[in-house]
Amino acid sequence: MDTYLAAFEGYRARKAAIDALYHELASPIHRARNRGGLFEQVELHLQRRHREMARLFQ
């Protein structure tokens, strides 16, 4: 995920990429496949990355 986000330049592009990932994870098709809380772990990681980016952007 970090490698994917690194492909985007700047805060706004990375924020849009994170939002797109959240949207994809929220899809009912993907929720049905969520086993063992993997998506929750991914969402927590995305939240941490977003907080870091926001702090650096300021």
Position 21 scores a pLDDT of 87
On the CB side of 56, how many CA atoms lie within 13 Å of its CA?
Answer: 11
* 3-class state of residue 7 by DSSP: coil
pLDDT at 9: 92
In contact, 15 and 52? CB cutoff 8 Å: no
The number of beta carbons lying within 10 Å of the beta carbon of residue 30 is 11
pTM exceeding the 0.85 threshold for the entire prediction: no
Convert the pLDDT of each residue in 28-56 to its tens digit.
776 666 666 777 788 888 889 889 988 88
The sign of the torsion formed by the CA atoms of 1, 3, 57, 23 equals: negative
Question: CB-hemisphere CA count at 13 Å for 10?
Answer: 3
